[in-house]
Amino acid sequence: MSPVDEFLPPGWTVQEGRGIALVIAGPSGAGKSSVIAEVLRRDPNLAFSVSATTRPRRPEEVDGRDYSFVSEEAFDRMIEEGALIEWTTYGGYRYGTPWAEVAGRLAAGQDLLINVEVQGALALRRSALPHPMVLVFMIPPSRDELRRRIRARGTESDEALARRLAIAEEEIRAIPEFDYLVVNDALEEAVARVEAILAAERARIMRCSP
Ligand code: 5GP
């Protein structure tokens, strides 16, 4: 019960116990990870859903913070046990969203940021999670910039880069299925746009309905 409830129709209540899942997708090179890290740093009420992956850890990454880095066998086991809401193969490695990272925390009213590729975002929306998913598509300001950023990452082979470019082109076609588009030209502005989306979603009347 909130004191504000007396303003609402019978049966409605300000749903403090219902977390928002803000799913950020978009091609590799859109800058999702940097934007997410900054939004998390600024908002202590937000948490990050840590995916499981079979990809090797990059030097700047921390196991358990950025990803749970697991073996192929451990990933197989997670699938068999039904521990993943969705999973995909991307650039030769597997990535998945564990139920344990998401369901309980949303039910407890925790707002979550989820970083996935495009099909993963759409799979989350179709999943059995009883919470509305807010789907944000993040893109760089131009195709040239997209290519430049993917190349600049430089942690992968030429073959891996070509694969990521091809996947990016495919992903861009799904933009119409998303709720919000965030152009990431400058980090500061993209962070402000994501924060604005979160503020708008937190204020939705729908979140008070029975
Ligand atoms: P990276 O190897 O650059 O960290 O991630 C590659 C892609 O996998 C990115 O587009 C990232 O958003 C996506 N990804 C990370 N975790 C998950 C996940 O749990 N599920 C899905 N479907 N994609 C993920």
The answer, yes or no, to whether residue 34 has pLDDT greater than 70, is yes
Annotation: CATH topology of 5-49+109-207: Rossmann fold (3.40.50)
- Residue ranges lining ligand 1, Cβ < 6 Å: 28, 32, 51, 55, 86, 88, 90, 95-97, 115-117, 120
pLDDT for position 17: 66
pLDDT for position 156: 65
Mutational pocket test of ligand 1: of 51, 95, 101, the residue with most ligand atoms within 8 Å of the beta carbon: 95
For 156-204, the pLDDT digits (tens) are: 678 878 888 888 899 999 999 999 999 999 999 999 999 999 999 988 8
Choose the weakest-confidence range: 17-26, 77-86, 171-180.
17-26
- Which residue has its alpha carbon closest to ligand 1 atom 18? 96
- Which residue has its alpha carbon closest to ligand 1 atom 9? 117
For 89-126, the pLDDT digits (tens) are: 988 899 999 999 999 999 888 999 999 999 999 999 99
pLDDT for position 16: 66
The distance of Cα 80 from the centroid of its chain, to the nearest Å, equals 23
Domain range annotation of the chain = 5-49+109-207
pTM: 0.91
